[in-house]
Chain A
């Protein structure tokens, strides 16, 4: 279980999170939604220690991780992986070397063992044939697939996806949606997904949390979102240009 309690975060004078609290139950898929700049990515990065809160408390599997050091997060990142908005593959490494990196660093495998395991992981996402290419030599969709393979190499119990379908064609986007759903249904992986993609949100989410002006505006099931009468939620769901949601 993941618990965020009264999280506050500001960058200079700009307040991004203003007392956000939410709980993610084991094995569930929770989508964090909101307009661009609402603080969705900032919130989820708190969980893996990539952003540190100004105040508030975070618990991960019952353990208080609020004051974890960078070294403490090393172990947590083995259990909770993250797929970033951009593929974030390392330009100077081949695709297989990218996937091998967490195996070497987290599991202490030799380069040869790590590469062997990484090739197996790439085969699972149909990328074995391209494993020796550099990231710049393959398209966005393929890079994202490799990034997902890299995140799954350590078989984490928790996954954070930051806009996993952004920039993907509809077919690959559906594949990613299915993968997120399968991870939860078959292996009980808990997923926190940041997304704007309504098709993905309503097709996959167990629960949806909408952030607005630094706070949780609505926390509910997809059905509750569809039937909400809140004007901001309505505007987000319908995609209307006119409405209360400021730019």
Chain B
């Protein structure tokens, strides 16, 4: 019961911070240079991690799919066509979201948490610069730019790793593998929408955890852990919800 209560309070706090951030964005945009620097930081911090993780997972997905396809149909020619929409709308945004939550969410929570416990956030407020304006807003815009970009890179890496592994394991012709016939505009729209949602929410959740930090370094540690747990859970739950809504909008599996 206390876990449910905690989750409810956490969700309310994040929703309030999200609303404050939206209001702050409507009032004034942060300097472009600050946003680009943050976006570069988010992208730079995550791109290697995402290339490696999604590369390996793409290879595993394609190998297992090819293995089953060969066992059942004796044919692996449609592996590339079959795995691309799964990567684009499902695994790509979700795994990128999880990686960003781990790699970037922790950084945001630790940085803001340290500023809270050393009274730098209070000092910011005294200087007339609220933490939402100064700390959250640029990071949300940076996430909005960087996560969709990482979704493209990560999905591309996973699919290309699949090309390599199916060629090695099943001698699938790369020209046959590169088949876009089963990938629809709706798959791309769903994947992009998820990436945008995660790009906004992960910085907000991480910043919310950081702003809740109390005490000394122990409080910062707790905030960091909280950020990863909350952001990862949010990615997984929203992935399912958005996926279900998209499925309904498309009119089911046949569309």
Contact = CB atoms under 8 A, between A and B. Distances in A.
A50 B122 contact: yes
A48 B126 contact: yes
Interface string B102-122: 000000000000000011101
B119 A74 contact: no
B130 interface: yes
B95 to A, nearest CB: 31
A88 B128 contact: no
B122 A45 contact: yes
Contact of A77 (B118, B119, B120, B128): B128
B182 interface: no
A88 B125 contact: no
B113 to A, nearest CB: 14
A86 interface: yes
A86 B127 contact: no
B129 interface: yes
B119 A101 contact: no
B129 to A, nearest CB: 5
A132 to B, nearest CB: 19
B129 A101 contact: yes
A86 B216 CA distance: 13
Contact of A88 (B122, B129, B130): B122
B233 interface: no
B123 interface: yes
Interface string A172-212: 00000000000000000000000000000000000000000
Contacts of A81: 126
A74 B27 CA distance: 16
Nearest to A101: B127
Interface string A95-107: 0000001100110
Nearest to A75: B128
Contact of A102 (B119, B122, B127, B130): B127
B118 A86 contact: yes
B125 A102 contact: no
Contacts of A106: 127-128
A84 interface: yes
A86 B124 CA distance: 14
A235 interface: no
A82 B120 contact: no
A30 B156 CA distance: 65
A48 to B, nearest CB: 7
Nearest to B20: A70
Contacts of A50: 122, 125-126
Contact of B123 (A73, A74, A88): A88
A9 interface: no
> Number of contact residues on A: which range applies?
20 to 34
B127 A84 contact: no
Q: Which of B120, B124, B128 lies at the interface centre, i.e. has the most chain A CB atoms within 10 A of its CB?
A: B128
A90 B128 CA distance: 14
Interface in A54-85: 70, 73-74, 77-78, 81-82, 84-85
Nearest to A88: B123
Contacts of B118: 86, 88
Contacts of A45: 122
A84 B128 contact: no
A40 interface: no
A149 B128 CA distance: 16
Contact of A74 (B120, B124, B128): B128
Nearest to A153: B127
A150 interface: yes
Contacts of B129: 101, 105
Contacts of B130: 70
B30 to A, nearest CB: 13
A48 B125 CA distance: 10
5 contacts: A88-B119, A88-B122, A90-B124, A101-B129, A102-B128
Given A70-B130, A77-B128, 15 more contacts: A45-B122, A48-B126, A50-B125, A50-B126, A73-B125, A77-B125, A81-B126, A88-B118, A88-B122, A88-B123, A90-B120, A90-B123, A91-B120, A102-B127, A106-B127
Interface of A: 45, 48-50, 70, 73-74, 77-78, 81-82, 84-86, 88-91, 101-102, 105-106, 150-151
Q: Which 10 A-B pairs rank lowest in CB-CB distance, beginning with the nearest?
A: A105-B128, A88-B123, A102-B127, A106-B128, A101-B127, A84-B119, A50-B122, A88-B119, A105-B129, A88-B120
